[in-house]
Every structure is written in structure tokens, then in C-alpha cells.
Amino acid sequence: MTVLAHAFGQRYDLPIPLYLFVGGGALVVIVSFLLVLNRGDVGGESPARDVPDSAHLRGLHPVAGMLAVLWLAFLCWCAIAGNQEVAENIIDTWFWIVVWVAVPLSVAIIGDWTQPVNPFAFLAKFADSARARQAILGGPQPVRWPGWVGWWPAAIVFFVVACFELIFNLWATTPHVTGELLAIYAGISLLGGFLFGEEWLRRGEMFTVLFDTWGRLGFFRFGAPGRRGFAGGLEPGFSRHPSRISFVLLMLLNVNYDGLLSTPQWNNDVLRHLSGSYGIAGTGQQHWFLVLAFLAMAIVLATLLLGFAHGSAKAGEHHTRPLRSLSGLLPSLVPIAFGYLLSHYLGYLIVNGQLLFPLIGNPPGLASWPIHLPYPFNDDYEPNHSFLPNAFYWYVALVVIIAVHIFAVIIAHRHLMRTAADEQKSRRSELPWLAAMVGYTCLSLWLLAQPFTETSATTSGSSEESVGPPAIVLSLG
């Protein structure tokens, strides 16, 4: 059986030395900074103000919402009652490829179109009933959402799902596990809407918060605050609450950590060293080590960005505290997160997304399935994993990574110009954040290059000892 994780598996040599590739990317970011340095007017806006920030909610869409819930129920039935082979059951392809990757990419380009068909949001809105609360809780008002809670429920759920994808994938991608987890989360969302009303959706329900955050980068606003156009929704900014900052940084770090796990250096050096020197050889031990490494990487990333952002505030004499300094520049990280998501998952999406064709004909993968559809919606269809060369994914990733970093420089420049007292302070404040952008560009390009410059460590057999991103079996027979 052939296993292809994130569509990497063939060697592709860089057309230029690695140091020139990474250095060239950094140079492009610096040049873009020089081009925008003298553009824009100083606004004198107070950088210390906190901004109203929460997911934009729309009204209940009964037909679309009910169909979404029925589809979720059908998927959960397929997962629990159907074939437990990953490639034979639609639940894994639908959730881990469509919902977890394709939908965020589409939202980041188009805008947040998902809320009417988000089954978890619909269940929360449906349960938000003053009459039901009066009968059960003795009062019609929702339970107050504590200010200290902020976005922590959404951030924690996002972290857990990311760990399921990247670390515990052999367990989490088992169809019945994915279906059971989605059913449990649907119940949690129903309860959250009943207890907390709209506040659960604004800050607690992970998918609503995630798609709303990605949607701020998209072209259309669908009634949400911000101007129409790419990144228009980022102009209002983000709250300085630690949970909100953590959520956005996890969106960025999720793909970075996945890239790190895909590097031969991590698999051949770090994990082997731990196995030989510290006895961390079992799958369970490695899994929990990887969770701790994920947390450590998140703390290091947050600390570094916090330092550079506060350095910008100090240089520009903004007189803000560190969290507010970072939250002001946080919108500039969203395009970078999108660039990493697209670059890292493009091949994975194109190749493994083809699994949907035969799965539509037999969603649960049962031999007794009564509906028989013609080709390509049957098992005669075989995904083609080589119709696009590795060079295609490479050059697309290269262009996207450089473009989003340039876009990030422009967004940060606009923020620092709006909050600067004069042009001289604005220019000084941009230098520390520029250094952060250049460093992050170099790191991301280096991570991106590793699976191409070395034989990828993510291509392996379906062994129970493998640790890494979720592998979709490309053999349907």
C-alpha cells in the first residue's frame, strides 16, 4: 500500500543553493519594506486602546443549518457503522482534508461564508432559547461569560485538534474516533449555546472563531466589520486578551510545527537521539514529548514576537504594554499563516482530495452499500498522485510565502503609521518588526525546503510506530 502524507515523497533538488534561496526571500521582504517606508500619512491614533473583537454572528438559517446537522449526523453514522479503513470511509477525507484545510483556505480568499452551514454554530443558535433556560435554569438570561475566559475554549480546542492531526493521528484519524469526537463536540456546542447564548459563538465555539478569523483576510465581508477587499477585515484589529493572541498564534504555529515534524533533521536527529540517550522509544512516550514540544514552541514563538512587537512600540514611543503592542501587529501575522497553510497543504489537498470521488459513491465503505454510481464515483477510480510535478508545488509555495510576507510588512506599516506621533517615530518603530518578519521568512523557507532537498521522512509504511502528520492511504482496493 502506498502512503502519501502531505503529498511529499519524491526528491526535488533546489535550482539554487539553499542559502541563496533563504537569503533571497529575506532580501525581498527588506526591499518591500523600503518601498512602503515613505508611503502613508501619520494618523496619531492611540495605540493603547483596546478594540471590540468577537466573531461576527448572523441570524439563524433554518434550512441550511438543518441540512448541515443532518449531514454531520450522516458522517458520524458512516464513521461509527462503516468501514474503519481510513481511505474507505468518507469521514476522514471530509473532515481532515475538506473542513480542516480546504474550507479555511477558501474562507481566507473569499470571506467567511461558512456560518449558515456550520452545524456546530446552528446547534448553538438553536439551543439559545430564553424559554428553555427559563424552564430549566429558572431564568431566561444566558449565563454570563466571564471576562477572564475570553477565547480560551476556542484556543484549547484548536490546540487539541491540531495535536490530533499532527501527533495522535493514527488514533484520531480512525473513522469511528473522528465520528465520536465530532458527535461529542456537537453536544458541547449545543450545551454552550444553551448556557451562554451568543457569547459561546463569539468566543468559545472553535470553528466559528476560526472561520471568522480566516474570513477577515477574505475579499467579501458578508456583513462583518471592515472594508471590502483582501485583508479589509483585519483593519479593526484583535483584542489584547492573552487567549485571543494565543488563538491567532496557534493558527500560525500549527503549520510551522507540522513543517518541523516533516523535516529529516527532526526525525533522524532529534527523535533518534531521544530514543538512544533518554529511552523515549515507545509511541506513547514520543507522542507526549511531541505535545510538550508543541507547547514549548508556542511559548518560544509568543515570547519572541512579544519582544519584537514591544520593541517596535518602544522605538515608536507608543507607551503600550507588551500584550497591546503585540495585538496591534497581530493582523500582520494572519496573511503569513494563510501562506504557510496553502504552501504546506497544497499538494496534500490536490492529491488526497481526489479520494472524495469514490467515497461519494460509497460514503461508509460498506460492501452492502445499495447505491452504485458510475466512474469516477466508485472503486474503479484511483487517485493520481503524480499528475503535477514536485516542482509545481515548490514554485507555488515559494511565490506564496514571499507574497504573504510582503503583505504582512504592508499591514504592519499601515498600523504603525496610524499609531505614530510623527514620521520619524513611525520609521523607528518599523525596524524591530521588520527584523522579526525577516527572521520568520528565513525560518519558514528553510522548513519549506527540507522535504524537497532531502528524501522526505513523511513517506513511510503504515506502521503503528510512525509519528507525524495524518497519512491517507492512496489505495482503494
* 326-370: pLDDT as tens digits: 999 999 999 999 998 998 888 889 988 999 999 999 999 999 999
pLDDT at 316 over 60: yes
- Whether the CB-CB separation of 381 and 375 falls below 8 Å is answered with yes
pLDDT at 408 > cutoff 70 = yes
More confident residue, 56 or 263: 56
- 472 beta partners: 4
Q: Does residue 13 register a pLDDT over 60? A: no
Q: Pairing between strand 3-4 and 472-473?
A: antiparallel
CB 6 within 8 Å of CB 469: yes
Instruction: Give the span between the Cα atoms of 109 and 363, in whole angstroms.
Output: 29
Angle between helices 333-352 and 423-453 (to 10 degrees): 20
Give residue-wise pLDDT tens across range 168-184: 999 999 999 999 999 99
473: β partners: 3
**What is the mean pLDDT of the segment spanning 138-144?**
95
Digit-coded pLDDT (tens) for 377-407: 988 888 888 778 877 887 888 888 888 888 8
pLDDT of 463 > 60? The answer is no
Please tell me whether the overall predicted TM-score, pTM, comes out greater than 0.85 for this model. yes
pLDDT tens per residue, range 54-88: 999 999 999 999 999 999 999 999 999 999 999 89
d(CA 243, CA 241): 5
pLDDT (0 to 100) of residue 40: 62
Q: Is the per-residue pLDDT at 460 higher than 70? A: no
Amino acid 464: pLDDT? 37
Mean pLDDT score, 241-253 = 95
Q: 447 vs 202, which has greater pLDDT?
A: 202
Choice between 466 and 99, residue whose per-residue pLDDT is larger: 99
Structural contact between residues 417 and 329, judged by C-beta atoms closer than 8 angstroms? no
Cα Rg, the chain, nearest whole Å: 23
d(CA 350, CA 7): 8
- Pick from 30-39, 108-117, 183-192, 270-279: least confident: 270-279
d(CA 301, CA 245): 12
Q: Measure the N-to-C terminal CA separation of the chain; round to a whole number of Å.
A: 9
Q: Count of H helices and E strands in the chain?
A: 20, 2
The whole-angstrom separation of Cα 412 and Cα 309 is 10
Q: Cell numbers 480566516 label which residue?
A: 214
